[in-house]
Amino acid sequence: MSLSSEQPLMNSPVNFDSPIPYYIQIKDKLKDQINSGSLKFGDQLPGEPMLCQIFSVSRTVIRQALTELEHEGVVTRRKGKGTYISEPEIFEKLTQNLIGFYQTMKLRGHIPSSQILKQEIVPADSFVAGNLQIKAGSPVLQLDRLRFVDREPIVLTYTFIPSHLVPGLEGIELTKESLYEVLERHFGVVVTHGRRIIGATVANDYQAGLFRINTGDPLIVINNINYSADDTPIEYYHGLYRGDLNIFEVEMVRQKG
């Protein structure tokens, strides 16, 4: 962060007469600077000695404020390198959400897009065929996409749909379209419910290269089988989500008895 970038912080002095603890005031001031755009995601904060000078407080107060911000996911502290404003994490519900990734991100105010890695008709292997309840070797549309949010790659998805349900889908542009909207608009295919299985893995060299992360970094694995109203399997979906940028909300209901 340059000296000019430190100026917004210098214009936010601590109120020493306030009953609010100093570290909370500093934490809130830093968050205000992020929300206003004065501090941007990826910016490096000044070092602890400079922050002590800016806010006229002790190093203990600064460390407490930064620790709170780190626990909230607002900053990332890198050993030997400094403290950085964290990238925003992407929230998605794990239940009762079948509007699709593209629509979900749009509704949350993000800019979603996709890089198509593969979009062609292939014979279903036994695993995919079993999930779609079709014969092994049956033609399916395979759609591999690297999904971006605000130009940051966050999800690698592999989608398989029986080709007889979507004739010609292999030729439709899907880089900036919702797959579910295309299914409904062009083919009258509506996803109404599904089953989701969640796991974890680590990135291999190929996945790390696409995500611009390190080999071995954590990934969240989500497998979906989605159905139409008459319980016909429409889609088998395998998604790899970056562990550092995705948070999933699970809705729980207490059952009687």
- Write the secondary structure of 130-144 as one string of H (helix), E (strand) and C (coil): HHHCCCCCCEEEEEE
Distance CA(11)–CA(131), nearest Å, equals: 59
Amino acid at 99: I
pLDDT the model gives residue 74? 78
Distance CA(110)–CA(162), nearest Å, equals: 31
Neighbours of 159 (CB within 10 A): 21
Owner of token pair 């209901």: 253
Q: Token pair of 183, please?
A: 């299914």
pLDDT the model gives residue 1? 41
What are the φ and ψ backbone dihedral angles of 154, each rounded to 5 degrees? -130, -20
Question: CB of 83 within 8 A of CB of 122?
Answer: no
pLDDT the model gives residue 4? 41
Per-residue pLDDT of the chain (257 residues; tens, 9 = 90+): 433 445 556 667 788 888 888 998 898 888 888 777 788 777 888 899 999 988 999 999 999 999 888 876 778 887 778 888 876 555 454 444 544 555 555 555 667 778 999 999 999 998 999 999 999 999 999 999 998 877 889 899 999 999 999 999 999 988 877 888 899 999 999 988 888 888 889 999 999 999 998 999 999 898 999 999 999 999 999 999 988 777 666 666 565 55
Question: CB of 146 within 8 A of CB of 153?
Answer: yes
Distance CA(99)–CA(122), nearest Å, equals: 26
Distance CA(225)–CA(235), nearest Å, equals: 6
Neighbours of 36 (CB within 10 A): 9
Neighbours of 69 (CB within 10 A): 24
Q: pTM of whole model > 0.75?
A: no
Tell me the C-alpha to C-alpha distance, in Å, between residue 3 and each of 7, 10, 31, 75: 7, 10, 19, 20
Owner of token pair 């009258």: 188
Q: What is the largest CA-CA distance in the chain?
A: 74
pLDDT the model gives residue 84? 85
Owner of token pair 């009762």: 96
Torsion of Cα atoms, 16 then 17 then 23 then 29, to 10°: -80
pLDDT the model gives residue 89? 53
Distance CA(163)–CA(123), nearest Å, equals: 10
Q: What string of DSSP letters covers 226-245?
A: EE-TT--EEEEEEEEEETTT
Q: Which domains does the chain have, with CATH numbers?
A: 3-85 (1.10.10.10), 90-249 (3.40.1410.10)
pLDDT the model gives residue 255? 56
